[in-house]
């Protein structure tokens, strides 16, 4: 019984850091010549990238062509590639980088305002989902994106799921001691 308790306690300790795990995404900010592969590469312009609070999303480019990065006002403007009231995050230049603030739940819409780039799918929606939301069961295709993550499954076990697993293992450890 003591060995079972020790094993359960060790498993709980090993899984606990996953509750705080974050994922890192890099978006290569270039227009898409073909329809983007949002299923296997969700951090691709033209897709919707589903992340969690605290995840790191960096949008960057280093090209001979100039690009910019604007935060668009809403989904309607994003869909129409309309930059009215858009907030410039990075001005027009050949090299740029921007780290998206993922601290608040909600969707942010980004686009490149260089002529023809947004309509060539040089835009991305970043949807920050609550940690309690089950990432793998999400089925939202509103903005040409799908629910997928380039992070390993162990990194995607976060928030409520990891906390629940830790609680179950701790309860098993306590029961084994009795």
How would residue 36 be classed by pLDDT, with cut points 50, 70 and 90? Answer: confident
- The C-alpha atoms of residue 52 and residue 22 are separated, in whole angstroms, by 8
- The C-alpha atoms of residue 32 and residue 93 are separated, in whole angstroms, by 18
pLDDT for the residue numbered 69: 98
Q: What percent of the chain has pLDDT over 90?
A: 51
Q: Which residues pair with 69 in a beta bridge?
A: 90
pLDDT for the residue numbered 79: 96
> Among the residues of the chain, which ranges form H helices?
2-15, 75-80, 153-156, 159-177
How would residue 40 be classed by pLDDT, with cut points 50, 70 and 90? Answer: confident
pLDDT for the residue numbered 39: 82
Q: What are the backbone dihedrals phi and psi of residue 64, each rounded to the nearest 5 degrees, phi first?
A: -80, -20
The answer on pLDDT for 125 being more than 60 is yes
Prediction pTM value: 0.66
**Interval 91-111: pLDDT, tens:** 999 999 999 999 999 999 999
Do 68 and 83 form a contact (C-beta atoms < 8 A)? no
Do the strands 24-28 and 56-72 form a parallel or antiparallel pair, or are they unpaired? parallel
The answer on pLDDT for 137 being more than 90 is no
Instruction: Give residue 141's Cα distance to chain centre.
Output: 15
């Amino acid at each position: 019984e003591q060995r079972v308790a020790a094993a359960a306690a060790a498993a709980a300790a090993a899984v606990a850091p996953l509750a705080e795990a974050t994922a890192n995404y890099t978006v290569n900010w270039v227009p898409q010549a073909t329809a983007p592969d949002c299923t296997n590469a969700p951090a691709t312009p033209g897709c919707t990238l589903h992340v969690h609070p605290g995840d790191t999303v960096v949008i960057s480019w280093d090209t001979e062509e100039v690009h910019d990065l604007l935060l668009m006002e809403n989904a309607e403007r994003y869909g129409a590639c309309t930059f009215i009231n858009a907030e410039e995050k990075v001005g027009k230049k050949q090299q740029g980088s921007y780290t998206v603030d993922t601290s608040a739940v909600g969707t942010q819409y980004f686009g490149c305002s260089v002529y023809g780039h947004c309509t060539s799918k040089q835009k991305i929606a970043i949807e920050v989902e609550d940690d309690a939301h089950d990432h793998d069961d999400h089925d939202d295709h509103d903005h040409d994106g799908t629910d997928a993550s380039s992070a390993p499954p162990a990194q995607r076990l976060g928030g409520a799921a990891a906390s629940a697993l830790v609680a179950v293992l701790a309860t098993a450890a306590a029961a084994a001691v009795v």
